[in-house]
Structure 1
Amino acid sequence: MSRLSFAHPPGAAREVDPGTDLRATILREFTLLTRNRVNFVLSLMPTLVYLLLMNTSLSNLVHNIDYRGTRLSYDVFLLPMVLMSATLSAALVSGLALFQEELSGIATELWSYPLRRSRYLIGKITVGIGVVLLQTVVALVVAALVLRVDLGLANWAALALTLVVTAAAFNAMYLVVALAIRDFQLFNIITNTSLPVLLFSSPSLYSRDDMPLVLRWLSTINPVTYGVTAMRDSVAFGLGTAWPSLLVLVVLAPVSYFAASTALLRRASGM
């Protein structure tokens, strides 16, 4: 008679590679995004619409603009606004995905598995940043070919770094909002209303000096201001000038991540 080995009895916990759940979460988020045509189109189309329609129209109306003592073409000046709108759209889609998971019952299945909330959040933020980078590649190719935006290699590198930090901060912030609100309709109202308010109460289409006094006050507490300013300074002057605004986002990203992690723990315990 053969002897049974109980080195790994049924149901016993086995040691798991710490990166397994992270890789699985990233793969799942990527699959969820690419298979959902609505989310995929919503995350990519705003970039092309803003870049091709708004930039082309406004650059014909306003050819150049003074920015911190430098004369910039309006195409270059508007490029950070286009990338910022792409970042906000991708962050909004990440928040919507949370509600889609709950409404479909997938969230309950996820939290029945011993999935660490940090890996879940990192996976969502990583895929969100990946979407923004994809949008950025599309935007920069179109900008270089159609709008003839001409920048140096150091400026492109500074812009890419700034965009990654901005995407991480705003993905985390929108996840905090999605986790703090349980009503899907309320989340839709708040986010879709706040998106244009955040974008246009920041120096996105105009310099801060040209804004009315009230909007200047609002822009000071508006996180979009620091994303747009950091990207614009990167485009115009390089990373050396962009770092003060970038530092605000570097601080904001981990704070938002911690808040999202705490909110996610409360949300999962209530399922």
Structure 2
Amino acid sequence: MAARLTFQNTPPARTAKAADLTAVLYREYSLLARNRVYLVLGLAPMLIYLLLVNTSLSNLVQEVTYKGVELRFAAFLLPMTLAMSVVSAAGTSSMALFQEEMSGVATQLWSYPLRRSRFLLGKVIAGVSLVLAQTLLALGVAVALFSFPFTTEGWLGMLAALVVSALAFNGLYLAVAIVITDYQAFMVLSNLSIPVLVFSAPSLYTMESMPTVIQWVATINPLTYAINGMRDAALFGLGAAWRDLAVLAAIAAVAYTIGGRGLLNRARNI
């Protein structure tokens, strides 16, 4: 009977699984952090609107009435600024897919015995954390420049809505990047989507003040639910924003299902 060959240095299965995910996360963070162009594209629109639009319009419009509450315009605009940061960072994160393929890294990745589930999970975690990091930076700058009338419960509710929004838009842009295989087409769509999403949502104005046609567009605009969810959570508590957050959670579930399957199918074809 032949002797069984064993390897003394083979790591346990649990350790190998943990190392698998850790390696993917390290690679994703390195890829995103080293590309300064993508980081600038993600941060610049948010900072421009925060520093210029918020300051200018806050001097022009002192207060706005939102669902019966008199609110300073700077506080009314804060969810719009955070939502814009979410959209910009989600587009930046999804561009990494094209960078991998154009550089040949994707082929190298799938040449190794890397579990696809760990690769997908690593991309989701890295993408969402990048979106949250950039958006929290925007929030920190906003708090340093403006004063907001939110309570502790309001801040916590807005942060919870922000996390759900980050999950939804990271998944949405990931799905779009998987469906659109042309890098230039995705770049054009990603950059054009920011002003379209922002200005067809109740960002600078309330839903009631928008023209009827734009209200119809806003109803199917996912950014509407992110902005309203953060506003309602900040002003009235997390319970008042559950409908908007439920829509965002549904968008995230559908987007990650489409993006995950598409990503795994693309990996099989490499």
TM-score, structure 2 normalization:
0.92
Matched, 1:77 2:79: no
Partner of 2:195: 196
Matched, 1:144 2:143: yes
- Name the SS for the 1:18 alignment partner: helix
**In terms of mean alpha carbon deviation, does 193-202 or 56-65 score higher?**
193-202
Matched, 1:209 2:208: yes
Conservation of the 8 A alpha-carbon contact between 1:176 and 1:259: yes
Q: Structure 1 residues 254 and 45 mapped into 2: Cα distance closer, same or farther (>3 Å)?
A: same
Conservation of the 8 A alpha-carbon contact between 1:76 and 1:235: no
Matched, 1:128 2:147: no
Aligned counterparts of 2:35 and 2:131: Cα–Cα separation in 1? 17
Q: CA deviation at 1:84?
A: 0.6
Matched, 1:171 2:170: yes
Matched, 1:246 2:249: no
Partner of 2:67: 68
Q: CA deviation at 1:51?
A: 1.1
Matched, 1:94 2:93: yes
Letter in 2 for 1:63: Q
How many residues align? The count is 267
Conservation of the 8 A alpha-carbon contact between 1:66 and 1:72: yes
Letter in 2 for 1:261: G
Post-superposition Cα deviations, 1:136-186, rounded to whole Å, max 9, x if no partner, equal 332232222211223211111111111111101111110111111111111
Aligned counterparts of 1:61 and 1:256: Cα–Cα separation in 2? 39
Matched, 1:220 2:219: yes
Aligned counterparts of 1:177 and 1:222: Cα–Cα separation in 2? 15
Post-superposition Cα deviations, 1:56-80, rounded to whole Å, max 9, x if no partner, equal 0111111110111111111111101
Letter in 2 for 1:207: T
Partner of 1:43: 42
- Name the SS for the 1:112 alignment partner: coil
Q: Structure 1 residues 33 and 96 mapped into 2: Cα distance closer, same or farther (>3 Å)?
A: same
Letter in 2 for 1:104: S
Cα RMSD, aligned residues only: 2.1
Post-superposition Cα deviations, 1:11-50, rounded to whole Å, max 9, x if no partner, equal x998463232222111111111111111222223333222
Aligned counterparts of 2:137 and 2:156: Cα–Cα separation in 1? 16
Conservation of the 8 A alpha-carbon contact between 1:43 and 1:93: yes
Post-superposition Cα deviations, 1:226-253, rounded to whole Å, max 9, x if no partner, equal 1111011112211011111011111221
Letter in 2 for 1:100: Q
Q: Structure 1 residues 40 and 190 mapped into 2: Cα distance closer, same or farther (>3 Å)?
A: closer
Conservation of the 8 A alpha-carbon contact between 1:59 and 1:74: yes
Aligned counterparts of 2:33 and 2:239: Cα–Cα separation in 1? 37
Aligned counterparts of 2:139 and 2:94: Cα–Cα separation in 1? 26
Conservation of the 8 A alpha-carbon contact between 1:48 and 1:139: yes
Aligned counterparts of 2:217 and 2:111: Cα–Cα separation in 1? 43
Aligned counterparts of 1:136 and 1:93: Cα–Cα separation in 2? 13
Conservation of the 8 A alpha-carbon contact between 1:117 and 1:261: no
Gaps of 5+ in 2: none
Conservation of the 8 A alpha-carbon contact between 2:87 and 2:169: yes
Conservation of the 8 A alpha-carbon contact between 2:82 and 2:139: no
- Name the SS for the 1:204 alignment partner: coil
- Name the SS for the 1:148 alignment partner: coil
- Name the SS for the 1:163 alignment partner: helix
